[in-house]
Structure 1
Amino acid sequence: MRRRDFLAASGLVGTAGLAGCAGFQLESSSSAQEPALVENRPDGVYYPTHVEGMKMVGKQTVGDYTCALTYSYPHRFWLFTGSHRQKVALKGEDSVHLMPVVWDNEAKIVPPDVNPQITVEQDGERVANVSPWPMLSQPMGVHFGDNVALPGDGTYQVSIRIGEPSVKRTGSLKDGEYGPATFEFEFDFSESKLNEIEYTDIPSEKEGTPGAVVPSEMTTVQMTQAPTKDALPGTVRATGTSDDAKLVVTTIDGAEPYGGSTDQTYLAVSARTPYNRFVLPAMALSGTLTRDGETVFDGQFDAALDGELNYHYGTALSNVQSGDELEITVDAPSQTARHEGYETAFYQMDPVTLTL
């Protein structure tokens, strides 16, 4: 169904709603373009009110990266700064939600740390300059996006520049060259084409209940998921849950590929969403490892991107033994922006204690 047809048929045009949940500040939603938020949203991942499709502008490869420029309807999302959550509501001038999806050609991983800068021009004049947010959505996982105001229908030139990565690379990605790159696209925008994008309403009896929609089937755009437990390298020691985030701990003998030494053990924490296994980047994690009541490690886990582990948090230790107790503390939740269905999860995260 097209969005405009659905909203007209369901009487949601111009509807205002108020939604909140225990432990969170109530947030109002009043929009002619989106239905009201679900009332009493749960403290965790939930089915959103709707799912929007997207259109492809184009795809280009430069050096070690490929960038696909996609777009959809402008929509609400939430920003996370430290432990503060802020809703970004739609503005009347918002025309489109631009989403550049960048991935590593070799590892087929979407890195959340390349910080794209988007410049939109028409007839040689700049009409928009945007630094899109790293985002997490149920259909797409990690990507970049932001709402953009355009003057109207027409042809636009879009330049996307990515910077050098800020997160260390390990394993097969350790020696890669990941310098800046620029991608150029021509974007033929019209409101009629925008309104052709698929818009799926989630049944009222399902929206707001625990769960997640299935990932997008748009095969021309790379989407990465955390490895299954069986596919993780090393020895999987334990799995814990904090505010709906799954934390899987694995250890690998020989930490040299990960910045340690050959006689050390690399302990990695793979943080992912439930249901779809999307990675949870930009967290601050620390841990305490105890053995027979004595502390053998107390420190930070460094964020890293690896060809086998994907985005994870890890540290090199002298050794890890069966029966060791590991307490994982989330000093800051994932700082990625969230689409509807993820904004109430991975937020107020309690420490997790695991027996390895």
Structure 2
Amino acid sequence: MDRREFLAGAATGTLGTLAGCTNLLERQSTRAPPLVEDRPDAVYVPTHVEGMEMVGVKSSGRYSLALFYSFPHRFWLMDDDRTNKVEIGSEDSLHLMASVWDAETETAIPSSNASLTVEQDGGTVVRKRMWPMLSQNMGFHYGDNVALDGDGVYDATVAFGPVSVRRTGEFADAFEEQVSPSFRFEFRRDALEGQVSFEELPDRQGERDAVEPMSMDMAPTPQLPPAEEMPGTTLGTGTSGDARFVATLLDERPEGVDGDGPYLAVSPRTPYNRFPIPMMALSATLERDGETAFDGNLTSTLDPDLKYHYGAAVDGVEDGDRLTITVDSPPGVSRHEGYETTFLDMEPVEMDVTL
């Protein structure tokens, strides 16, 4: 969908195909049902699911970036090793979200900062950082609630990059520049109600499960491969803080990795939906016959085959080795409801290697 199509659809009220809800300002509480009592310290089904609308997609070089909007909603920021809830503000108009991926491999890029500027008639209405976030229906993205100056046409610019984490393989020399795509959209509060769905989940909320990711025609779902489809030789799997960890070994180090020997890659992901979990600090220890064969940090890395992971070159891995993965700091990524109580208290993950 291009911008002209978007504006035409919004102007005629035909862009949205999802059921409407009651007035946002008059019924603000319906956008934030009471949280589940006794929420588990694990991933759980939230109280509700919100739809979203795509403004458009722009590509530049290997970057592709999509901009979306939904109702303003509560979310949680990380404060050291705890979460801190951000409530819906009385002036908030939308929740704006951006997804970024590699245009050639459709690999999600959950590793760089994004900032947002919204203008109207040449004047700046919003200028802020977009929080890196995890949600159950969208996965990793960048987003925040924004307050607009009422109904009208706005221009949103998302500045993204360069990517700061290590890149390997064909990504080794990619994503070194910043891109700043702009999108024009029309905001009408009454139209928003007819464009974006809102569904409460009274029969499932609080269960240890997750809602299904949304399917988007113009943007890939940012899921990691199942354990059995990861490149290399799978060394083992484990769980910590309800996050799933997959450890794999590549005989050859990917381009961009210093050191000698094979490559140990650890892929943390959310349960149920296999979304990457970025912004954590990991280290690993390999023990063999009572001796330490490796003890070091695992570096945040973006690779076209392994996707987002943490890895290091090691001298070697043998059958019977004991691999311990330690979470030195929990993920600093912000969370939507259903993720705010988990990925916090994370014990070491131990695996007995069988080759």
Q: Same fold (TM over 0.5)?
A: yes
TM-score, scaled relative to structure 2: 0.90
Q: For this pair of structures, how many residues does the alignment match?
A: 334
AA aligned to 2:208 is: P
| Residue 199 (structure 2) aligns with | 200
Contact 2:23 2:193 in 1 (8 A): no
* Pairing partner for 1:289 from 278, 286, 290: 286
Q: CA deviation at 1:63?
A: 1.9
Residue ranges of structure 1 left out of the alignment (5+ in a row): 15-30
Equivalence for 2:20: 2
Match of 1:221 in 2: 219
Q: 1:300 aligns with which of 290, 297, 301?
A: 297
- TM normalised by structure 1 equals 0.90
Deviation beyond 6 Å, 4+ runs, structure 1:
5-8
Q: CA 1:126–1:49 in structure 2 vs 1: closer, same or farther (change >3 Å)?
A: same
| Residue number in structure 2 paired with 1:22 | none
How many Å apart are 1:257 and its aligned residue? 2.4
Aligned to 1:176: 174
**Residue 315 and residue 190 in structure 1: after superposition, are their counterparts in 2 closer, same or farther (change >3 A)?**
same
Q: How does 1:16-95 map to 2 (within 5 A)?
A: 31=29, 33-95=31-93
| 1:164 pairs with 2:162 | yes
Task: Using the TM superposition, give the Cα deviation of residue 188 of structure 1 relative to its aligned residue in structure 2, in angstroms.
Answer: 0.5
The equivalent residue for 2:255 is: 257
Q: Does the 8 Å contact 2:161/2:175 carry over to 1?
A: no
Structure 1 Cα separation of the partners of residues 268 and 112 of structure 2: 20
The answer as to whether partners of 2:166 and 2:302 remain within 8 angstroms in 1 is yes
Aligned AA (2:141): H
CA distance in 2, matches of 1:246, 1:219: 28
**1:298: Cα distance to partner?**
1.3
2:221 is paired with a residue whose SS is coil
Give the drift of 1:256.
Answer: 4.7
Determine the C-alpha separation between the residues in 1 that align with 2:254 and 2:56: 39
Deviation per CA, 1:38-57, whole angstroms, max 9, x where unpaired? 11101101000100010111
Corresponding residue to 1:115 among 108, 113, 116 = 113
Deviates more, 1:65-74 or 1:75-84: 75-84
Which aligned pairs between 1:231-250 and structure 2 lie closer than 5 A? 231-250=229-248
| 1:118 positional shift | 0.9
What is the identity, as a one-letter code, of the residue corresponding to 1:181?
A: V
Q: Is the 8 A contact 1:64 1:178 kept in 2?
A: no
Q: Which amino acid aligns with 1:71?
A: Y
Q: 1:81 to 1:306 in 2, by over 3 A?
A: farther
Matched residue type, 2:295: D
What letter is aligned with 1:94? D
Distance 2:69 2:39 in 1: 27
**Which residue in the other structure is 2:228 paired with?**
230
Residues 341/61 of structure 1: CA separation in 2 closer, same or farther (3 Å cut): same
Structure 1 residue aligned with 2:351: 354
1:316 to 293, 307, 313: 313
**Deviation per CA, 1:45-77, whole angstroms, max 9, x where unpaired?**
100010001011121112221111110000000
Which residue in the other structure is 2:104 paired with? 106
8 Å contact from structure 1 (residues 103, 111) kept in 2:
yes
Q: 2:338 aligned with 1:341, yes or no?
A: yes
Q: CA deviation at 1:6?
A: 11
In the TM superposition, what is the alpha-carbon distance from 1:187 to its structure 2 partner?
Answer: 1.3
Residue 19 (structure 1) aligns with:
none
CA RMSD of aligned residues (A): 1.8
For 1:234 and 1:83, how far apart are their aligned partners in 2? 33
1:255 to partner: Cα distance: 1.5
Shift of 1:243: 1.3
Number of the residue aligned with 2:269:
272
Deviations 1:65-91 (A, max 9, x none): 111111000000001133121111111
